[in-house]
Chain A
Amino acid sequence: MTSTLRKNSIVASGGLLLVILPILVSWSGHDYYISLFSRILIYGLAAVSLDLLLGFSGMISLGHAAYVGIGAYVVAIFFHHASEMEPLFTWPFVLEGSENGLLVLPLAVLISALFALVIGSLCLRTRGMHFIMITLAFAQMLYYFFVSLEKYGGDDGLSLYSRSSIPGMDLGNDIHFYYLCLGSLLVFIFVARRLVYSRFGLIVRGCSNNERRIRALGINSYSYRLALFVIAGAGAGLAGGLLANQTEYVSPGLMHWTLSGELMVMVLLGGLGTLFGPVLGAAVFLLVEENLAMYTEHWMVYMGPFLVLVVIFAKRGLFGLVAGGENGNE
């Protein structure tokens, strides 16, 4: 049980570090790092939601960025209409734009979940390689859809001019925004943790290992897997809504499959089938990108082979290396 203790203390100190980070940064004067770490938290959130699929239920979705993009576009489109003072649509009822974070962020979650429901219900009819390719293809479909959507900037995307407003918070202030991201991430991890160990979680973890057995037990695995797919999509949508606020800009690039691939890389780097690992993975990936990019614009030529080596030799990821314990048994 000492490995549990070690893991808990690592998670606790990591969490504490994230909580006091803004103070440390303002002491050191590198204010830039606040927004970098906000980005890390947001990508961490997206990566955790992806890990629910990859690590806990064995569904290899290669189109997870689509839901990040949907979430981001929901925030951006509502913002756009609010600033143009033009309703989104007038039939069957009038829907006005909005900059209210308490409205648009939940909407980002909801609408991403809805897309995940429709796409997931089709994708989950398939298995294995088919599933991988189809999730990818649907994400690309949304990508091309937004590229051709001239009304919202097409290929060039949309700018936001400011962040959403939440009563009692000033999201324009990077420190406030940082804590919003941290809070969202922690809430999502907490929810995910309950989920993974609940009866529902037991079923989906079982599906990842042996779906045929699940069916022999009398469980229609399809609806459970679909529910998890929707929950993961919702988490990604929240990340997208935050990301739109962080950069104050959205473009179809957010849905591009390379972003889906990078989210996968973060999960793998951090530790598959763990809830804190993906956050660590996101931090490492973005920090490496940031720092390598300072020395060479061709950082990917190093990142690529490094990734291959990690896959072949270090399957448990960084979280597994530092925290011990078994893969998938947090």
Chain B
Amino acid sequence: MNDKIMEVKGLNKAFGAVTATNDLSFGIDRGHVHALIGPNGAGKTTLVNQLTGDIFPDSGKIIYNSQDITRLKDYRRAHLGIARSFQITHIFENLTVGENMALSICAHSGHNFHFWRHSLRSGIVKEKLEGALGRVDLAHRRHLKASHLSHGEKRQLEVGMALTGDPELLILDEPMAGMGPGGTIELSKLIEKLKGTLTILLVEHDMDVVFSLADMVTVLVYGEAILTAPVDQVRKNRRVQQAYLGDGW
């Protein structure tokens, strides 16, 4: 099999006169933590939304496991093993923590036209719920409504939900955004733990996090990938420093 899990070739996306993605190409190696960095407005989230099928590019190709998925709908991509977390936490605030997790477990186990048996007592949920909650340390919170969780816990829950489908590629869109130092450490530990078991595309602002976790880095400026390189090289690259890191470096 190809050692690239995902390849992006010549991607373009414009919103009216604004070019959000400009002839963008890069590849993600299987098993790596691949970081996507860039200043505000560089088009990171727009790119992520194209990778997950939230929006479609104007031109270019997205190849996933040697398959062209450029025009594939978002939920179909999820079935292929692409999971994501959103920049703003997207959990189901009106459901309990357990129900949230059960929902994502159900999502990955065939159709859900099961109208009768209680969801938390259905076979597949019973089998997997405990482990899924444990993996993100939320077992003790299962009966709590998700809206009552702390910010960091919501993020943990979201990552946990993304993991229930055993994805091959996990896309984390600024997971540390809005989190206190404690939460950042917790989540870094979680990502560290996941490292090697699956491929992670990490969109992140916090350079300390990127440099401590990532294997490869792609730098995005004005919708263009100006560089894709191992993390050590990026640290030394002057262009990156100018474009992104500013004079502080």
Contacts and interface: CB of A to CB of B under 8 A. Distances in A.
- Touch A–B, Cβ below 8 Å: yes
Interface of A: 194-195, 197-203, 205-206, 208-210, 212-220, 224, 227, 326, 328-329
Interface string B72-110: 001111110001101000111111000100111011100
B65 interface: no
B151 interface: no
Contact of A202 (B78, B79, B103, B161): B103
Prevailing SS type, chain B contact patch: mixed
Given A218-B107, A219-B75, A202 B116 contact: no
A213 B75 contact: no
B117 A198 contact: yes
Interface of B: 52, 54, 74-79, 83-84, 86, 90-95, 99, 102-104, 106-108, 112-119, 122, 125, 145, 161, 165
Given A195-B116, A210-B91, A217-B165, 5 more contacts: A198-B119, A209-B95, A216-B90, A217-B104, A219-B107
A203 B93 contact: no
A328 B116 CA distance: 19
B166 to A, nearest CB: 12
22 contacts: A198-B122, A199-B114, A199-B119, A200-B112, A200-B114, A200-B115, A202-B106, A202-B112, A205-B99, A206-B103, A209-B92, A209-B93, A210-B92, A212-B90, A213-B91, A213-B92, A215-B74, A216-B74, A216-B75, A217-B75, A217-B107, A217-B165
Nearest to B106: A199
Nearest to B79: A218
A233 to B, nearest CB: 15
B185 to A, nearest CB: 26
B106 to A, nearest CB: 5
Nearest to A219: B107
B115 A217 contact: no
Contacts of A199: 102, 106, 112, 114, 117, 119, 122, 125
A251 B91 CA distance: 45
Contacts of A213: 86, 90-92
Contacts of B107: 203, 214, 217-219
